[in-house]
Amino acid sequence: MKFTDGFWLRRPGVTAAYAAEAYDIVADGDSLVVTAPTRPINERGNVLNLPVHTVTLTAAAEGVVKVRIEHHAGAHRSPGFEVAEERGHGTAEVTDAGGTLVSGALKAVVAQGAPWDISFWDGDTRLTGSGHKAVGHMTLGLESTVTAEPAGVMGVTETGLAESRTYVHEQLDLGVGELIYGLGERFGPFVKNGQTVDIWNADGGTSSEMAYKNIPFYLSSRGYGVFVNQPEHVSFEVGSEAVERVQFSVAGEALEYYVIAGPTPEDVMRRYTALTGRPPMVPAWSYGLWLSTSFTTDYDEATVNSFVDGMRERSIPLSVFHFDCFWMREFNWTDLEWDPRTFPDPEGMLQRMHDEKDLKVCVWINSYIGQRSALFAEGAEKGYLVKNVDGSVWQSDLWVAGMGLVDFTNPEATAWFQDKVRGLLRQGVDAIKTDFGERIPTDVVWHDGTDPHTMHNLYTQLYNKAVFDVLVEERGEGEAVLFARSSTAGGQQFPVHWGGDNTSTYPSMAETLRGGLGLAASGFGYWSHDIGGFEGTPDAGVFKRWVAFGLMSSHSRLHGSESYRVPWAFDDEAVAVTKRFAELKNTLMPYLYTAGAHAAATGVSVARPMFFEFPDDPAVAYLDRQFMLGSDILVAPVMSADGTVDFYLPTGTWTSLLTGERVEGGRWVRETHGFDSLPLYVREGAMIPRGARSDRPDYDFLDGLTLEVYSGGAEVDTTVEIVTADGERVQFGVRGSGNELALEGATEATVLVR
């Protein structure tokens, strides 16, 4: 949200009260409490009729400093997100020069007096800071609702105008060449500099500025992160209003944020996800290929069997079958009852899919309860649906006629919805697709009294947690899997997430990947997308290129809107391409599953931006058409009809995973690939564990294991740890050169030098 009119002036109707000096600094345990008046206090009379900010800095965890800015401390207080602070790591000290708070390698220094200045340091390196006119309390006058250029909030209010009269903002410095990443799964430019970003969940598709997963966290190329602990709407101006700063603002009288030390992206992710929650392990079977009925297509059990049998007849490995919306009767969404016209024997069908087809099953749900659903009357009677201010049930016709909304702030409503989901799991369903969760009204009353603006973004957290908890109860730790669209900070605890409604084009492939990279830079461990695109029907070329891309993602699903996504619906080559990459992914399971274990331990995603692995290489800073799959495999999806792809290889010798060809890095490469290929390069010094099975992802990774050593011709001295599908950790070491290689490990393996 923008408040200024250039460098000197403010927008019409905007009054600003900026922190002008640190008048008084008090050390309180592991905190500094700063009184920051909005003009310098040169005499006693200056203290009258004066807004003052109370700024409290606290060592929230090792390497993490929390900053809380309060104008009126008695005003409505945001609940914030659920965070796990670990106090006891900080020391605070006050001298004549100011206050210093140290937590691990991170140091915050508050300068005494004027001008206002807080600097954050990692050793001798200044990371960022809050300076002149950075901390501000902004009041919007009535003029702002009638002028041609109001202080507006795009995409949050129907009028485009700000709803609140008061806002608090902070501005943190941007260094020369500093780049900002993250802020959730966003489909525009990967680097956020120059953008205005509204943290406000919306159902806008991948071709818009809106996002399903808005995360008020950003990651800096200078080796630190910033997390704004506000579930409400947060507006970020990333070098787009004050071009030397990142500004973030919230409505009301207070703002809270954390500065998180690095220095590496992994260090920041580890500390950030220690605060907000880490992605758990997901089962090995979930990494395999998922096939969907698609959305508005016609299907029954016979149709489903024809798809499943068609995959088997063509020897295409399949792990999960997904039933989209119409497994329930139209207008009944969501009643969590199988449509008896098309699925008269759901329990028998699910048993047959398990026993005869060897498949897991996923079904679509959402938390919108259509008026025709039997659950609507039950939920309304018991007070389980969100209410209007007058006490009536809130309803809408946008999506399902007369739908209500489950109120997850009501523990009884949550238990009621969970019990319905539990019934599905006991029928034999294995995974749940939790769709929607973004269209949450702000003119309603919640059971626990939470402010509706707070609940708009926070709703998805309660929704996904409710379903995920049931999966954990019924299936056990490590076996629970969602396929979720919406999320917010902390949502990484309830995987897996997919990218939402894309289109069946090459540009949509690119925007989909940008969204995934942004989500990875926001603490999420796993990510998927609709292979081939959701809207429309892809031509055979787009489908085949997307299959290769999708099967080199952590999770892979064939899904569309109005047409089936079975490979033979396109051409024979699509069948061969799907088979090739599904089998390749299955052989990579020892590597991928171990990368998933790393995500669960550190918050670093399985598929990650290039700068995560090469933070000191400035050439990777803007790369958003390629990524690292795990720490050692570079993937550059082909997004052109003629198969041409440009990608960058960092310094070193790289070896094609598909052909064994060696290529020197430190340069851009242009290649042309057929549909059965794409650039997959392994970095020098890596050891890639490959499994013996290509027909399924869940198997004994150690049985027939091959260790592929990519030495670049040099002497080998490398180790690798493998996490097996049952959670065992096994280490292997390979030493020597040429044919004189020694294997160190608890079990046998074949060593192959590439």
Q: Sign of the C-alpha dihedral, residues 572, 575, 579, 581?
A: positive
Peptide bond preceding 496 in cis form (omega within 30 of 0): yes
Contacts of residue 279, Cβ cutoff 8 Å, sequence gap at least 6: 273, 492, 493, 495, 524, 525, 526, 599, 600, 603
Last residue of a domain, one of 543, 568, 602: 602
Which CA distances in Å does 189 have to 95, 179, 211, 509?
A: 44, 12, 13, 14
Domain count, the chain: 2
The β-bridge relationship of strands 64-70 and 90-95 is unpaired
Residues of the chain with pLDDT under 50: 143-154
Give phi and psi for 608, each to the nearest 5.
-140, 160
Residue 749 belongs to a domain = no
The β-bridge relationship of strands 653-656 and 106-111 is unpaired
Give phi and psi for 279, each to the nearest 5.
-70, 130
The β-bridge relationship of strands 245-251 and 234-238 is antiparallel
pLDDT at residue 145, as a whole number: 47
- CA 212 from centroid of its chain's CA atoms: 10
Q: Sign of the C-alpha dihedral, residues 78, 83, 88, 93?
A: negative
Residues 413 and 434 in one domain: yes
- Can you tell me whether residue 244 is helix, strand or coil? coil
The β-bridge relationship of strands 289-292 and 320-323 is parallel
C-beta of residue 647 within 8 angstroms of C-beta of residue 633: no
Last residue of a domain, one of 602, 628, 652: 602
Beta bridge pairs of residue 513: none
Residue 748 belongs to a domain = no
- CA 439 from centroid of its chain's CA atoms: 18
Q: Which amino acid is at 85?
A: E
Which CA distances in Å does 119 have to 6, 106, 111, 240, 263?
A: 25, 10, 8, 22, 16
The β-bridge relationship of strands 320-323 and 387-388 is unpaired
Give phi and psi for 654, each to the nearest 5.
-115, 145
Residue 661 belongs to a domain = no
Which residue out of 435, 479, 535, 684 is catalytically annotated? Answer: 435
The pLDDT mean for the chain works out to 95
pLDDT at residue 150, as a whole number: 43
Contacts of residue 49, Cβ cutoff 8 Å, sequence gap at least 6: none
Last residue of a domain, one of 602, 630, 658: 602
Give the Cα separation of 250 and 235 in Å (integer).
7
Residues 186 and 334 in one domain: no
Give the Cα separation of 199 and 631 in Å (integer).
30
pLDDT at residue 155, as a whole number: 53
Torsion, Cα 419 423 424 427, to 10 degrees, reads: 160
Q: Quick check: is 572 catalytic?
A: no
Residues 449 and 598 in one domain: yes
Residues 411 and 540 in one domain: yes
For residue 166, the domain's CATH number is 2.60.40.1760
Residues 182 and 296 in one domain: no
Could you report the per-residue pLDDT of 498-524, keeping only the tens digit for each?
999 999 999 999 999 999 999 999 999
Give the Cα separation of 441 and 427 in Å (integer).
33
Give the Cα separation of 336 and 327 in Å (integer).
9
Residues 292 and 257 in one domain: no
For residue 439, the domain's CATH number is 3.20.20.80
List, in sequence order, the alpha helices (H) in 485-539: 506-520
Residue-wise burial string across 150-166, b where 16 or more C-beta atoms lie within 10 A, e elsewhere = bbbbebbeeeebbebeb
The β-bridge relationship of strands 136-140 and 14-18 is antiparallel
As a whole number of Å, the end-to-end CA separation of the chain is 53
Q: Quick check: is 381 catalytic?
A: no
Beta bridge pairs of residue 434: 365
List, in sequence order, the alpha helices (H) in 208-366: 265-276, 301-313, 346-355
What token pair was written down for 281?
Answer: 């392990």
Residues 30 and 146 in one domain: yes
Which residue out of 237, 438, 479, 632 is catalytically annotated? Answer: 438
Residues 240 and 297 in one domain: no
Residue 650 belongs to a domain = no
Question: What's the domain range around 359?
Answer: 284-602
Give the Cα separation of 151 and 434 in Å (integer).
36
Residues 230 and 346 in one domain: no
3-state helix, strand, coil in the chain (%, to 5): 20, 30, 45
Nearest Cα to 596, choosing from 634, 637, 555?
A: 555
Residues 227 and 91 in one domain: yes
Residue-wise burial string across 288-321, b where 16 or more C-beta atoms lie within 10 A, e elsewhere = bbbbbbbbebebbbeebbebbebbeeeebbbbbb
What token pair was written down for 623?
Answer: 């790369």
Nearest Cα to 235, choosing from 188, 169, 180, 174?
A: 169
C-beta of residue 621 within 8 angstroms of C-beta of residue 191: yes
pLDDT at residue 754, as a whole number: 87
Which CA distances in Å does 153 have to 230, 234, 458?
A: 16, 10, 19
HEC readout, 154-184:
CCCCCCCECCCCEEEEEEEECCCCCCEEEEE
Residue 99 belongs to a domain = yes
Residue 689 belongs to a domain = no
Residue 613 belongs to a domain = no
Residue 362 belongs to a domain = yes
Residues 164 and 293 in one domain: no
C-beta of residue 531 within 8 angstroms of C-beta of residue 222: no
Nearest Cα to 501, choosing from 169, 185, 724?
A: 185
Q: Quick check: is 438 catalytic?
A: yes
Residues 242 and 381 in one domain: no
Which residue out of 21, 266, 501, 583 is catalytically annotated? Answer: 501
Nearest Cα to 436, choosing from 486, 362, 480, 483?
A: 486
Contacts of residue 560, Cβ cutoff 8 Å, sequence gap at least 6: 292, 294, 295, 504, 530, 532, 533, 534, 537
